Each structure stands twice: as C-alpha cells, then as structure tokens.
Structure 1
Amino acid sequence: MSDQSINSHSALNDVDDRSLLEDADGDLFDVEQDFDPFAELDDDELDAMLAKAEGGFDATASGVPEGFRSGFVALVGRPNAGKSTLLNACFGQKVAITSPVAQTTRRRMRAVINREGCQIVIVDTPGLHKPKDSLGSELNKSALSEIGDVDVVAFLVDATKPIGRGDAWVAEHVAASRATKILVLTKADIANPQQVTSQLEEARKLVDFDEELVVSSTEGFNVEAFVSVVASYLPEGPKWFPDDMGVDASDETLVSEFVREKVLLHTREEIPHAVGVLCDGFEYKRDLLKLHATIYVEREGQKGILIGKRGEMIKRIGIEARRDLERIFDTRVYLELDVKVKQGWREDQGQIRRFGYSADE
C-alpha cells in the first residue's frame, strides 16, 4: 500500500468522541472493559491529552512544534451535497464511495489529513434527510451526533440546487452547535455565477457562519483553501494519530462499500436503497487477495435484476469493484460475489447493526 495506506486496526476505531472519557450519551466510559481506548497512546500522548483536558497544552511534551494545531471537522449537509467527494479530495485518494444516489454514505468515516503545522480529522457523515424507514433514522442520528462533538462544522450546500426546507432543517442543527461554522458551497465547476451568488445569499440567512468558501472537489478548486481555513480554527494540540494513519474503516468495510458503490451506479429505482453488502471472506494468498462479499436485497425480483441476464450485471459489478480494490490494497484481487434476499432488513435494528449502519457503530 501507499504511505496513506488503510489500516484495518486503526486507532481511529478506538476514539468515538473528543472527550474520550464519555460516550455519545454523556455517560462515563467503563475503563474496566476489555476494550481500552488509550491502549495505543504513549506516555507523551497521554500527558498531552490530560494537559488539554485541564485547559493547557505543552507542545514540547507532545513532541510537536510550537503552534501545532489539531482537531476534528464534520462534513454535514443534504444527500449528494458533495461531502464524500470533498473528503476524497482532501485526502488525495478515493477512500469514500460516491454516487448520484441518496444515502450513498451510510457509515460515518474519519480520514486523517496531515499538513505542515496541523493534523485534521475529517468526519464524513450520512446525508441528512427525511427518513422513510429505520435505516434512514439511524443515518440521521449518526450524522447529527457529530455536529456537537467536533471543533469545526462544515455545512456543505450544492451550488446547483436551490436551498429548500431540507437545507433549512440541517441549518438549524448547525446553528445550535458550539463549533466553528464554515459554509462550503460545492460543485462550483458546474454552477454558473448567478447560482453561486444566489446560494451564498440564501445560505447566509440560515446560519451566522464564521467563514464561507466556494469549492469544486472534482477540479481541486479551493480544496487546499478549505484545509487551511479549517486548520486556522483548530486549537493547539498534539498529533492525535500517527502520520501513516489513513481512515477508520476496516479492510472488510472498504470491500463492502466499494461493491455497494458499483450496485448504486448500475441500478435504479428502489434497488440501491434496498441493498446492503457484507464482506464475509478476506484471505491473502501470496500475491493474491481472495475476497468474498454477499449482496443482500429485500425481494426476489431485486435479486434477479442484480444478477442480470446470464449473470452480466453481477459480473460488471464485480469487475469494476475489483479494479478499485486492487488500487486500494495494491495487489491482485480475486472477488467473488453472491446475492441473497433478506426481507425487510431496513426495518430490522439487528440487521442494520449487522451491516454496520447503526448510529452506535
């Protein structure tokens, strides 16, 4: 893998909130449990953490230069606002899946961005929307839980679509956050000047933003400016994670997500929303990575569409997913896919948790 390789045992999995001593509900964390969130921190990092909790930070003790900044920024907004695309652009590699389909992002993903003088942990969240099932409710809970638990909230608004009630609803939650608030107007490459001006004016009515930026993640326009602006609002602090840390997704999760992305890109109507994917086979054999993933749908008819005539659809999904996985894992990949029916899984909390889509994950 590259220097920004994916670490399936990422320390990011061990850190679910900024206080480290409380869970998402404000309850004290039970340090007697087998799972220890501090296990991978050395003495200097622990000292720096305690110093910060007490209101001070000693750069010398933490081993970082004076004035070093670090912290967390959450990307929030309506579905398809460009959150995952911006994360990929900042990270410099595609690690979050993208598609034109709503609910593409179902899992909160954190990516560590290292720049001179700062370390930023970018948190990509599911698009906020009016839920139609238990899955949708869990995705909203997951996104909203991040707004109050970061240093900076970046509210992403699509420059090409008029601001509506959905954006206003998201804005209410952003406005209530104590974090620094940045308006990020996305997709500048396909918006005309009139749209950009109008969107900026309407967005300013919703929230008192500390900063605003117009970006194009696909063209790289103002991506580094976004990183710089976020860094300027972060507190002085230690490097929370090693320089070679990538994202907090396990290898199996990345396999599942990139398979699901190809399903989203090649199917229509209800199928993309009814699909869940699990990677249930992961084995290295010399210079070959053997993978097996199962695609779950809710009805037999959906299964037939996914398999396709003479298996053409599932073959195309497998070929395209394999190409991405070979890039990510930097090795040859053999990918085998199955399709199974799991009726009503989107209303089943147990199944939602099994797929890793629960807000508590």
Structure 2
Amino acid sequence: MPGSLDGTETPEGFKSGFACFVGRPNAGKSTLTNALVGTKIAIASAKPQTTRHAIRGIVNRPDAQLVLIDTPGLHRPRTLLGERLNDVVRATWSEVDTVGVCLPADQKIGPGDTYLVGELAKLPRVPALVAVATKSDLVGPTRMAQHLMAIQALEETLGITWTHIVPVSSVTDDQLDVLADTLVSLLPDGPPLYPGGEVTDEPEETLVAELIRESVLETVRDELPHSITVAIEEMGLREGRPADKPLLDVYASMIVERDSQKGIIIGHRGERLRDIGEKSRRQIEALLGTPVYLDLRIKVLKEWQRNPKHLNRLGF
C-alpha cells in the first residue's frame, strides 16, 4: 500500500483529485463548496465576479481526498483584472478531474449557462462533467422534472455527455452526500494530496481579506462591488498576552478606485464603516477561533483594476 503525506498507509483503492464548480452568478457555487468542505472557505454573494481567487477546499474522507477549487466566474472582461480572472478559470478547468456545472432549479437554463458549458466542451481535454441542479429546496417535483429534462437536452444541443445529473440543496443538505460520492467516483486512484485534517491550503491572511470584502459587499449592496479589494497590511497575535487570553491584531486596507467611493464605505456619520468592521470581526473570530482586534482603513488606488502594477502588487 502506498504511503500518505503524514507517513500512514493509504488504503487500497483510495482516490484523490481535483474538482471545481462552474455556473453563472448566484448559481450556488461557493455555497456548495463551503457545504461540502464543512466550513466556510469561500465567500458567497449574489454579485457577479465575487470570487477573485482560485480557493481550494479539501474534503477529507476515509476513502478519498477531494480538493474543490472555487474559481471566479467566466465573464466578458471589461478590465485587465477581468482578463486575468478569466485566465485563472480556464487554467483551472484544464487541470481538474471533474467539473460540476451548477444549474439552479429555480431558474430556466439560459444563454449564460449554454455559453459556459459550450466553453467547457471546447477544452482540449474535457474533464468529466456533472450537472448539479442546485437550490432543489426552492421548487416542487413538477418544476424539478422539467429542469432535469432541460439539463439532459443540453447533451444533444452542445455535444457533451453528463456523467451524472444530481439535484442538491446546500440549505437543507439534500443529496450533498450523493454529490460528494459522485465526484469522488470520478477521481483517479492515488494517495492524499494534502495532510489530513486541513480544509484549505489558503493562507489565513487571504481568507481574512476575503471575509472583510464579503462584509463590504453585503453592506454597500450595489454601489461598488467590482471597485473594492482588501489587503492585509499586518496580522499576528499580540505580544505579552497570557496564553489563555490571546488577541489577534489585524490591520487591513479596503482599497477603492476613487475618492467618492470612500464616502460610500464610510456612510452617514461612519455607520457603514462601523457595521463592516463589526461583521468582519465576528466572521474572522468564527473562522480562526480567536478574539480579534480589527483596524480597518480605506485607501484610494486610482483605476487599480486596469493598472498592471497595482494588480501585481495586490496579487492578481
């Protein structure tokens, strides 16, 4: 039997590999990733292009290790950032063993869905395709039957083959175990790719920055979703604290493109900024299990989404 990363024996028939979910905005990709991993590693929002990094979530099982990659959505880019995000998506597609195409049961299959699946079909090596009918809790049996027939019809329309079609609900946990088993069945045999017990390979700073950005998106609604990014300037346990009373200091900058956007984040008498800080701090404490002191600043970087120098510095 082959050995694993921690020196233990890997069981016979153990599987390991990569999967990702694709779908249009608000199709349930990030929520599904979090539900399968069992903890929050990807921020979820109804806004298009909320996800900006390929974040890996690790599902550890006795028989397999499934690595889920939460990717940005493929879209028509309007900025250099958009072009780079699309590059991340296509690179991920070419590397995974299987792709779950999220098609929400409460919405009709539209041009955005057919475009996505058509792009997958053009890959030099097409991964195993699983159709995932998300949000099954929002529809009745008749609507679900119609939806599954429409999904099936995509095979002929687009010249693809679904290995499986699985209706799921992340909200009610309906059929999540079936989806996990399905994805695992499509992985190659092999030892674990990451040490057991890990749920992500993302640095804590990246996860914290994403939680802050999610709080901003929730608070400002439609006013500046694409213009905001978050950089962690400094993060570490405060020195001199007793071991049983740790405090994590987080110094972060919310970066916008124009001076007028600072006012949007600050809000009337600073109410929005306080709300963002409170939401962010609660989320970070829940993620890391440590009390947090959060210092939030706002910086203006003119047209950062279009400036190669700014994008490189911000990690895009």
Structure 1 stretch displaced more, 255-264 or 173-182: 173-182
Partner of 1:172: 118
Partner of 1:345: 304
CA offset at residue 45 of structure 1? Answer: 5.6
- Secondary structure of the corresponding residue to residue 334 of structure 1: strand
Find the partner of 1:288 among 226, 230, 247. Answer: 247
Preserved contact between residue 147 and residue 173 of structure 1 (Cα < 8 Å): no
Equivalent runs, 1:237-252 vs 2, <5 Å: 237-252=190-205
CA distance in 1, matches of 2:257, 2:65: 42
CA distance in 2, matches of 1:119, 1:179: 18
Structure 1 stretch displaced more, 254-263 or 160-169: 160-169
CA distance in 2, matches of 1:296, 1:70: 38
Is structure 2 residue 209 aligned with structure 1 residue 256?
Answer: yes
CA deviations 1:101-146 (Å, max 9, x no partner) are 1111111111111112111111111112222222222222211211
Preserved contact between residue 79 and residue 126 of structure 1 (Cα < 8 Å): no
CA deviations 1:15-42 (Å, max 9, x no partner) are xxxxxxxxxxxxxxxxxxxxxxxxxxxx
Find the partner of 2:185 among 229, 232, 246. Answer: 232
Preserved contact between residue 60 and residue 197 of structure 2 (Cα < 8 Å): no
- Secondary structure of the corresponding residue to residue 105 of structure 1: coil
- Secondary structure of the corresponding residue to residue 69 of structure 2: strand
Find the partner of 2:54 among 108, 114, 121. Answer: 108
Partner of 1:279: 232
Preserved contact between residue 4 and residue 10 of structure 2 (Cα < 8 Å): no
Q: Number of residues paired by the alignment?
A: 301
Amino acid at match of 2:256: V
Amino acid at match of 2:213: R
CA offset at residue 270 of structure 1? Answer: 4.0
Amino acid at match of 1:115: R
- Secondary structure of the corresponding residue to residue 97 of structure 1: coil
CA offset at residue 71 of structure 1? Answer: 0.9
- Secondary structure of the corresponding residue to residue 95 of structure 2: coil
Unaligned ranges ≥5, structure 2: none
Give 4+ residue runs of structure 1 displaced > 4 Å after superposition: 43-46
Amino acid at match of 2:215: K
Partner of 1:301: 260
- Secondary structure of the corresponding residue to residue 273 of structure 1: coil
Preserved contact between residue 111 and residue 246 of structure 1 (Cα < 8 Å): yes
CA distance in 2, matches of 1:182, 1:119: 18
Amino acid at match of 1:93: T
Unaligned ranges ≥5, structure 1: 1-42, 47-60
Over the matched positions of the two proteins, sequence identity in percent amounts to 39
CA gap of 1:275–1:195, structure 2 versus 1, over 3 A, is farther
Preserved contact between residue 231 and residue 254 of structure 2 (Cα < 8 Å): yes
Equivalent runs, 1:54-133 vs 2, <5 Å: 63-133=9-79
Partner of 2:131: 183
Preserved contact between residue 3 and residue 10 of structure 2 (Cα < 8 Å): no
- Secondary structure of the corresponding residue to residue 272 of structure 1: coil
Find the partner of 1:332 among 283, 287, 291. Answer: 291
CA offset at residue 195 of structure 1? Answer: 3.8
Partner of 1:39: none
CA gap of 1:201–1:350, structure 2 versus 1, over 3 A, is farther
Partner of 1:201: 149
Preserved contact between residue 235 and residue 250 of structure 2 (Cα < 8 Å): yes
RMSD of aligned C-alpha atoms? Answer: 1.8
CA gap of 1:130–1:201, structure 2 versus 1, over 3 A, is farther
CA deviations 1:255-281 (Å, max 9, x no partner) are 110000011111133411110110111
CA distance in 2, matches of 1:108, 1:201: 31
CA distance in 1, matches of 2:55, 2:24: 16
CA gap of 1:191–1:355, structure 2 versus 1, over 3 A, is farther
CA distance in 2, matches of 1:65, 1:118: 9
Amino acid at match of 1:320: K
Is structure 2 residue 279 aligned with structure 1 residue 320?
Answer: yes
Q: TM-score, normalised by structure 1?
A: 0.79
Is structure 2 residue 99 aligned with structure 1 residue 153?
Answer: yes
Preserved contact between residue 126 and residue 143 of structure 1 (Cα < 8 Å): yes
Preserved contact between residue 55 and residue 71 of structure 2 (Cα < 8 Å): yes
CA distance in 2, matches of 1:128, 1:191: 27
CA distance in 1, matches of 2:254, 2:139: 36
CA deviations 1:182-238 (Å, max 9, x no partner) are 001111112344443333233331431010101111221111111111111111111
Preserved contact between residue 175 and residue 208 of structure 1 (Cα < 8 Å): no
CA deviations 1:313-336 (Å, max 9, x no partner) are 011001011001011111100001
CA distance in 2, matches of 1:354, 1:215: 39
CA distance in 1, matches of 2:50, 2:247: 29
